[in-house]
Amino acid sequence: MLKRVIHWFELEPVGTLLSYDHGAMSRFVQAGALTDPKRTRYANCRVCKSSLPIQVQSWGEHLVRCTLCGGEVDFGIEFQSVSAKLSWLPNSLAAQIDSSLNPAVTLIENRLWRLSEATSATTAVYLLRSTINLDLEPILAALNADFDDGRRLILTTSPFRNMPEPTAETTFLPLDEVAHMEPEGIRLDARSLLPQLIDQVPLWFELPPPYNRLTLAGETLPLRRRQPDFMRLLRLAHAAGQKKASWRALLRRAGYRDVYTSLAQVFPDEVFRFIETSKDDVWIRKAPYPSRVPALIGRGRTTDDTSF
């Protein structure tokens, strides 16, 4: 459900009309994420031949002109349409993060909001309405102008191409990692959000975007397929101060669909030189396990696997 809400919220241009589907949309209208359905018709321009949906009452139709060229229009069939209410998402999140702040503070119209008070004592939380190719410069400028005296967590509606690597001061985090949608509205998951609000700890390894190379004590492990997602989530847990994370939960969140009894079913031996597991937990080692000579290993793991 959250995916649909985010999709509507990110639609360009702002105010794009969506054909109203009662079964699929009424609950979102009720929750406040979408506007009330309104009578809509396609206005077909006699001059430039454009065809654009417009919300119009029957008594107002004779006043409608083409929005592109001002020409007279003919009307197509009648239907109901809605559009995303852009203030709903930031205000709903702000109400949960900092009840003293209502509504959310707009920093860039339709793009960036602050969801909490900005004080150096706490992590300031923001919402960024992102697009794949986001121009980050004005976003960072607005963030720096707003608050540069402490830690900032920026929830982004979707991941984007040039999403910056988390630092001790600033972390960009996709919204769906800390929130989900319920029938009555969006809900933040305290369990996954709270670790993000504490100070980041220094990391002993490097895993820069796009998260396909894990470097540990001078050795680099290339990551393939869904492994970068898994390691990125593990990195987030470490950066938030967790010494270990549940590998089953990480697999699920990284998009692995099967049921596994061991992480060795997912990763080749080489990966276990860099990570360590114990029962349900996984963590990144302080240094890679020495590379073993294939002739001594034989098939599968051998006696020195007690360290796993």
Least Å from the CB of residue 13 to Zn ion: 17
Number of residues that bind Zn ion (CB under 5 A): 8
Give, as ranges, the residues between 69 and 108 that touch Zn ion (CB under 5 A): 69, 71
Cβ-based nearer residue to Zn ion, 76 or 222: 76
Interface with Zn ion, residue 52, by CB under 5 A = no
Q: Say if residues 138 and 167 touch (Cβ distance below 8 Å).
A: no
What are the residues whose beta carbons fall under 8 Å from the beta carbon of 100, sequence distance 6 or more? Answer: 117
Cβ-based nearer residue to Zn ion, 69 or 217: 69
Q: Say if residues 199 and 172 touch (Cβ distance below 8 Å).
A: no
16, 58, 68, 226: which one binds Zn ion (CB under 5 A): 68
Q: Which of 237, 304, 307 is nearest to 277 (CA)?
A: 307
Q: Which of the stretches 39-47, 88-96, 117-125, 202-210 binds Zn ion when contact is defined by CB under 5 A?
A: 39-47
d(CA 126, CA 299): 51
d(CA 291, CA 49): 68
4, 21, 48, 222: which one binds Zn ion (CB under 5 A): 48
Cβ-based nearer residue to Zn ion, 49 or 252: 49
Q: Which of the stretches 64-72, 76-84, 147-155, 254-262 binds Zn ion when contact is defined by CB under 5 A?
A: 64-72
Least Å from the CB of residue 60 to Zn ion: 18
What are the residues whose beta carbons fall under 8 Å from the beta carbon of 150, sequence distance 6 or more? Answer: 118, 119, 120, 121, 122, 123, 124, 169
Least Å from the CB of residue 153 to Zn ion: 46
Residues at the contact surface with Zn ion, assessed by CB under 5 A: 45, 47-48, 50, 66, 68-69, 71
